[in-house]
Structure 1
Amino acid sequence: MHDKNNIIGLNLYNKKFRIWAHVCVWLVLMALPYIMHSINVLPSRTFTGKEMSGFIKLDYAGYFYWIAAFYFNSLILIPHLFMKGKYPYYVLAVLSIYAIYLFVYHYIYNWLEIDLPYGLLRTSWLRLPAFLLTMAASLAYTTINGLLDYQEKLREKDKEKLKTELSFLRSQISPHFIFNVLNNIVSLVRLNSTELEPTVMKLSGLMKYMLYHTDEEKVNIKVEEEYLNHYIDLQKQRFGKKVKVETSFTILNKNQLIEPMLLIPFVENAFKHGVGSIDDPRIIIELVTDERFLNFTVINKYNALNTGPKDESSGIGIANVSRRINLLYENKHQLSIKSENNCFEVNLILKLDA
C-alpha cells in the first residue's frame, strides 16, 4: 500500500522528484515553439527562412523570461507581498513584469530585424493569456508547495510523537518486568541460595539488554531470543516442578530485525497467570521464523474460578505490546488472543523487513 501522499509510488515530498518534475515540465513547454512552427501554426502571411528562425528564437527567449517570471513571482512576490496582504504592491509588481516583457519583446524583434506582424498594441493582448497563465501557475505551484511543506512538517511531528510514545511504552514495560525479576531472585534466595550466582548473571544479561538495546529502533532476533531464554530460565528456577515449560525456537535467519522488548510481555503474562492454583500447569512457547514472517505462540492454562485480588500491575505488558504492535507494524501483523477451555493462547504473526 502506498502512502496517501504518494502518487503512483512517487514521493511528492522528495526534493529530487520536485526538481526533475520542474525540469521535465519546462522542457516540454520549451519544445512547443519548434512544434508549433514545424506544423505551420503561424500568422496567415508567408515568412522567410530568416523570419521563421527569428520567430523561434523569439519564442525561446520569451519562454526563458516566463521561467524567470514564474520563480520570481513564486519565491519573491508571493511570499513578501501577496502573502502579507500587500495586494496593490503585488499587482503593481506583476504589471511591471509584463511591461518589461513587452519592452524586451519589442527590442528583440528590432534586433532580429523582423517586422511585428500585428503591431505592439495587438501583440501585447495576444501575449497576455500566456503571461496570466504563467502567473496563475506560479501562484498554484506556490500554494501546493506550501501545503506539501506543511504536511511534511506535520508528518515529522507525528514521527516525533510516535517516537516519544514508544519510549514511554517501553519505559512502562521495563520497571514492571524488573519488579517481577527481583521477586524471582528473592524467591530463589529463600528456596536455594546456590542458584543465586547464575541467577544474578542472567539478571545481569537482562539488564544489559534493557540498558543497551531498548533504545535501538530494531534488534537482531538472536538478541531477543537470548533475552527470552534468560527470562524463561529465571522463571523455571523460581517455580521448579510447579509448572511444565515447553519451548521451541526455530529461527532461520538470526540477523533479521525486530522491535526490542516486543515478545517478552506475552511470556511474562503466561507465567503470571499460568502458575498457581491450576491443575497440571503448563506453558508452551514457540517461535518460528522464515525469510519473511515471524510466528510467535504462547499458550498457558489458567484458573477461570480465581477471584483473588486483582494485581493492579497485571496486564500492563500485554496492553503496551498490543499498542506498540499497532504503531510499528500497522498492516504488517496479525495478533490473535483467545481464551477457551481454561487455556489462554496468544499468536502473533509479523511480516519482517527484507
Structure 2
Amino acid sequence: MTTDSSTRLRIANLTVKFPGTVAVDNASIDVKPGEFFTLLGPSGCGKTTLLRTIAGFCHQNEGHIYFNDRLVDLLPAHRRDTGMVFQNYAVFPHLTVWQNIAYGLRARRVPKLEMSERIKEAIRLVDLNGYEERKPSQLSGGQQQRVVVARATVVRPQILLMDEPLANLDAKLRVRLREELRELQRELGITTIYVTHDQEEALSISDRIAVMWMGKVQQIGSPMEVYRHPVSKSVAEFVGEGTFFTGVVCHMNDDEITVELVDGKRLVSDSLSRLETTEGDSVRLGFRPQDAKIVINPAPNAENILIGTVIQKMYFGGLVRYNLETSSGLQMQAEEYAPIRDGSNTEGDAISISIPRDRLMVFPVGEEEEIGQ
C-alpha cells in the first residue's frame, strides 16, 4: 500500500488495545503536508493514545501508519522524525534556554555554525530574544512552553505532535499562545497533529478536526463542517452547545423535512445531508443558541417560531444568553448580541424565537450515548 503524494501522514484502520479496553478503534486518517490537524475529544476518548502511537511510544494491534510513502510501524520513536510537545513543561532545569533548544540538534550532530543559526531563528520565532542564558526557573510557564516548541521545531521534523500543550496555562495566556502557535506553524509549514479537549481551541486554530469518542473517529472535517454539519447529536453536543428536541417526521421530500414536537408544534429543516429516515420515524432536532433569533410580534404564519419563558438570564458582556422553557416543558437556549436595553427580556418574560430552517439540525434517534464533557 502507498499513500497519495498529497498525504504526509496516513493512519489506516488503526486499533490499539490495552487490557480490558480498546483505546483506539479502527481509526483511519489522512493528513496533508503543512496541515494543522486536531484530534478533539473528551478525556479517555483515545486521542492521546493515537498521538503516542504516531510518535512510536505505543504500538498498534492492527492497522498501519505511513509517513509520506514510508511504512513506519516497526520504526522506533527516535527514528520517526517527529517533534513532540507535551502538556507539562518538558524542559531540562539545569540547562539554559539556548542549551535546551540545542539539545536535539546536538543529538543529530548538526555542525556548530548551522546549529547556531537555527537556534537564533527558533528563538526569534518564539519571541525569546534576550532570554538565551536564562534557566527554566527564571521563566514563566508560557515562556517555558515556548522553549519546548522551539526545541521541537528547530530539528525540522516531518511531523510536529502536540499533546494539549496549553492546558496548564491560564485562560488569557492560553488564547494568546494558541494564536502564536498557529502563526508559527504557518510560517514553518510543518505538518502538525494537535490534541485537545477544548472545542474553542480546536475550532479557532485547525485546518481540519477529527472528533473522537470511545476510541472511534466520529467525524473529520473543517471547523465549520464539524460545527455546522455534525454527523450525530453526540458530535453536535460536544463541538459547541445546542438545544435538542425529539419529534416525529410528518412530512419529507428531497428539499425539506417537517417534524412535529410532543406539543404539536411543527418545525421545518432543509438540513437533510446524511439523514436516512422516512415519515413516521422519530428524530432529534437541534439548533445552536446563536442561531435562535429573538423576534417581536411574529406573524401568525411565520415558520419555525417557538415561544418560551425566561427561566434564567446570563450576561456575558457582548451577549446575553437566555434559558427558556416552553409551555409544554421543553428546555431551550437563545442568545442576544449587544442588547439595546439593559432591562430587556427579564426572567419570567415570554420570548418568541425564530430558527432558520438551514440552521435546524436533524439526527436519527437511537444514538443514546453522549460524548462526555
TM-score scaled to structure 1, two decimals? Answer: 0.26
**Higher CA-based Rg:** 1
- Structure that is richer in strand per residue: 2
Which structure is higher in RCO with an 8 Å CA cutoff and minimum separation 6?
A: 2
TM-score scaled to structure 2, two decimals? Answer: 0.25
- Structure that is richer in helix per residue: 1
